Amino acid sequence: MDASTWQPSRAQPNWLVRLFDYKPFLIFICLLPACGLLLAFLTYPLGLGIYLAFTDTEIGGNGEWVGLDNFISLMDDRIFLTSVWNTLFYTFTATVLKFGLGLWLALLLNHQIPFKSFLRAIILLPYITPTVLSAIAFWWIYDPQFSIISYVLVDRLHILDHYIDFLGTPWAARWSLIVANVWRGIPFVAITLLAGLQTISPSLYEAALLDGASPWQSFRHITSPLLMPILAIVMTFSVLFTFTDFQLVYAITRGGPINSTHLMATLAFQRGIPGAQLGEGAAIAVAMIPFLIFATFFSYYALGRRKWQQGSDND
Amino acid sequence: MATVSIRTVRKAFGSTEVLHGVNVEVADGEFVILVGPSGCGKSTLLRMIAGLENISRGEIAIGGRVVNNVPPKERDIAMVFQNYALYPHMTVRDNMAFSLLLAKAPKNVIDEKVGRAADILGLAPYLERFPRQLSGGQRQRVAMGRAIVRDPQVFLFDEPLSNLDAKLRVAMRAEIKDLHQRLKTTTVYVTHDQIEAMTMADKIVVMNSGNVEQFGAPLELYDRPANLFVAGFIGSPAMNFIRGRIEGGAFRSGSVSLPLPATAPASHTGDVVYGIRPEHLRLDPNGVGATVLVTEPTGSETQVIMQLGDAVMHTETRMIGAFRERISHRPGETLHVASDPTLAHLFDVTTGARLS
């Protein structure tokens, strides 16, 4: 057989090959692992949590269905109401600060500055440190006796005459936690907003410059509207992460002093696991769901996709 | 409207100098095109006129006023960018009105100016659309509209047609030229396409690696290119170059002999380059024999790539001819061509400068 008469052989495929060529079967097989994982590790725990919220289950005992009793009793629970207020205040303040400082950092890094890539790497540091490690570091920073801030202010600069009790009073503790959260959250905001800034074509700024825009006007009319879609996504994530924050608060204050810094997540854990009231803990956790849904919808619809982004893109 | 004077302008990025002392005078109302291969510095020069790049040395004056230290918005210029740089989140109307809005113009003035620009450019039906919803040609027009509403002293265009397909490019070429004839605003236009330069410009600046090779009217550049670079850059298909010597009142290269241009110096010693444009070759039974390599009929003319002289394989004698006649010669057959000595050019081999 020479090159001109050679034909590729076409063997009859066997049943296994034919089965995998059958599209519905292939779709089923490919989706199975993902669906299985979602069912086992997401749907089941979520469903169980919601079910527990309507029972009076305790650790080591089978609970009974109690309907809305858990939620009704939470309505009169001052600690729960404080934790709701704390969560809202914590989320709102930390988000505003994170976005203000993060956007400012991103704008700085978007300019030609020396050591740009080095600074960019430095900024990521708080984000790559394990949360509990940074929480312990903050715990030391906020320590009533060994705080470095108090040491510098009192013993070095002589600005204050007494050590600050960061975690001993409710408001000081709340602000201390917010500062720790902002410190951890800024890198995420700064880096993602920087990515968003870099998608804006430099020629738009040049066009605005020729159109007579001042730096503030080009920020207001070019940067901020073009950054809004990515800002909406980053803000959604940031709000969700902050609202459900647990590690920082639990490691630094454990909800104290006198339950004044409990977030809903820490209170749910406190009641459910150390307090053994699984049903009540689950009810507190379930109470977070409406807030989270509202936050998601708000940023999706209020800040999300704009009309100018629609239509064909035939660049 | 205003003149633009570029006087011994130099530009360096760090230690690399990209413009080496450029001089160009643009008269009031003139349409001047900067043309050259990529990296020749033409866009940099345009951005320096706009104020987007600072001027390392020399000076640029717009309307008699030196603008070296004048910020872009006070130079009274408008620029059309290669990628149009339309604000994606603004409608066509807002894109055009943006500069007026920043200048705090009253609403009725904005409406009137935007309306007038939209009428000139045929954009009236699209005023409420976003840039994404427009075709390439429409976006191009919006970019021009944004420049027109400002009523500037000088229009700057940075390769505005290179993102369009070939057919639209030809149409927009005529449109921009027509617009200039109506508005009579001084215009500086950058392109790498010599056809665009030839068809649109009042004057062309041919640039090459940071230097001006020649500055003149399009046909002047075509008829009397100052050097080999301009000769090879202007005209399509490109001019044929043959290397050889002047001997006994004729040009000789190997066995090929061609008549000299009348203006040629009779006694030039050393090698010269003989240049003849493809369209200036004609079929002549008494001419030089050439072996046909490829024929490319385009309908209106036939381009023939041929090997001049006898079978001596010598790449420098390969030529392109563009003939009005239809030629049915097959590859390998012989064609007899003659060059018109009045239309031929002679260049010095070493300097590339025109001889005569």
Task: Inspect the interface and report whether the beta carbons of A309 and B132 lie closer than 8 Å.
Answer: yes
Contact B73 A212 (CB under 8 A): yes
Contact call for B52 and A209, based on CB within 8 A: yes
- Is the model's pLDDT at B330 over the cut of 80? yes
Query: Is B130's CB within 8 Å of A307's CB?
Result: yes
Among B79, B28, B29, smallest CA distance to B53 is for B79
Q: What percent of chain B has pLDDT over 70?
A: 97
pLDDT higher at A62 or B125: B125
Cβ-defined contacts of A109-113 (< 8 Å, 24+): A109/A190, A109/A194, A110/A194, A110/A197, A110/A198
Residue A5 CB: number of other CB atoms within 10 A?
6
Kindly report the CA angle at A260 between A254 and A265, in degrees rounded to 5?
55
Amino acid A307: pLDDT: 59
Closest partner residue to B99 among A212, A306, A308, by Cβ? A212
Residue B77 has pLDDT above 70, yes or no: yes
The single-letter DSSP state of residue B235 is S
pLDDT at A14: 85
- Judged by a CB distance cut-off of 8 A, whether residue A79 touches chain B is no
Nearest to B130 among A208, A212, A308 (CB): A308
Tell me: the pLDDT tens digits for A43-102?
Answer: 999 999 999 888 888 888 788 888 888 888 888 888 999 999 999 999 999 999 999 999
Domains and CATH numbers, chain A: 77-310 (1.10.3720.10)
Determine the pLDDT at residue A158: 80
pLDDT higher than threshold 60 for residue A312: no
Mean pLDDT value of segment A113-119: 81
Query: Taking CB atoms and an 8 Å cutoff, what residues of chain A touch B83?
Result: 201, 203
Q: What is the pLDDT of residue B1?
A: 65
Choose the closest CB to B87 out of A204, A212, A312.
A204
Q: Is B58 exposed, middle or buried (0-12, 13-18, 19+ CB in 10 A)?
A: middle
How would residue B217 be classed by pLDDT, with cut points 50, 70 and 90?
very high
Q: Tell me, what amino acid is at A147?
A: S
Alpha helix stretches (DSSP H) within B10-164 = 42-50, 92-102, 107-121, 136-148
The answer to whether A211 contacts chain B (CB < 8 Å) is: yes
User: Are B101 and A222 in contact, with CB atoms under 8 Å apart?
Assistant: no
Give the pLDDT score at A304: 59
What whole-number distance in Å separates Cα of residue B101 and Cα of residue B245?
66
Q: What is the mean pLDDT of residues B177-199?
A: 91
In this prediction, residue B313 carries a pLDDT of 47
Strands B203-208 and B31-35: parallel
Q: Is A314 on the interface with B (CB under 8 A)?
A: yes
Q: What single-letter DSSP state applies at residue B293?
A: E
Q: What is the pLDDT of residue A315?
A: 40
Q: Considering CB atoms only, which of A203, A212, A307 is closest to B83?
A: A203
Q: How far is A229 from chain B (nearest CA, A)?
A: 11
Span A124-178, pLDDT tens digits: 888 888 888 888 888 888 888 888 888 888 888 888 888 888 888 888 889 999 9
* Separation in Å, CA B253 to CA B245, B261, B283, B311, B348: 7, 15, 20, 14, 15
Task: Determine the Cα–Cα distance for residues B14 and A252; give it in Å rounded to an integer.
Answer: 52
Q: Per the CB < 8 Å rule, is B102 touching A204? A: no
**CA–CA gap between residue B188 and residue B182 (Å, rounded):** 16
Q: Do A207 and B136 touch (CB under 8 A)?
A: no
B85 lies within 8 A of chain A by CB = yes
Both tokens assigned to A64: 């009974």
> Does B88 touch chain A if contact means CB atoms closer than 8 Å?
yes
Q: Which two tokens stand for residue B280?
A: 């200036």
Rounded to two decimals, the pTM is 0.79
Q: What stretch of H or E contains B253?
A: strand B250-253
Q: Is the CB of residue A117 less than 8 Å away from at least one CB of chain B?
A: no
Residue predicted with more confidence, A147 or B269: A147
**Quick one: pLDDT band at residue A208, thresholds 50, 70, 90?**
very high
The nearest alpha carbon in chain B to A226 belongs to B89
Query: CB distance from A303 to chain B under 8 Å?
Result: no
Contact flag A207-B85 (C-beta cutoff 8 Å): yes
pLDDT per residue over A217-272, tens digit each?
A: 999 999 988 888 888 888 888 898 899 888 888 888 888 788 888 999 999 998 88
Which of A204, A209, A225 minimises the CB distance to B73? A209
In this predicted structure, what is the pLDDT of residue B39? Answer: 86
Nearest residue of B to residue A203, measured between CA atoms:
B85
pLDDT at A310: 52
Q: How many CB pairs under 8 A join A and B?
A: 70
State which H helix or E strand residue A265 sits in.
Answer: helix A264-272
pLDDT-based confidence at residue B355 (cuts at 50, 70, 90) = confident
Q: Which chain B residues have a beta carbon less than 8 Å from that of A307?
A: 130
Both tokens of A6, joined, read 């050679």
Mean pLDDT of B211-223: 93
**ipTM confidence:** 0.82
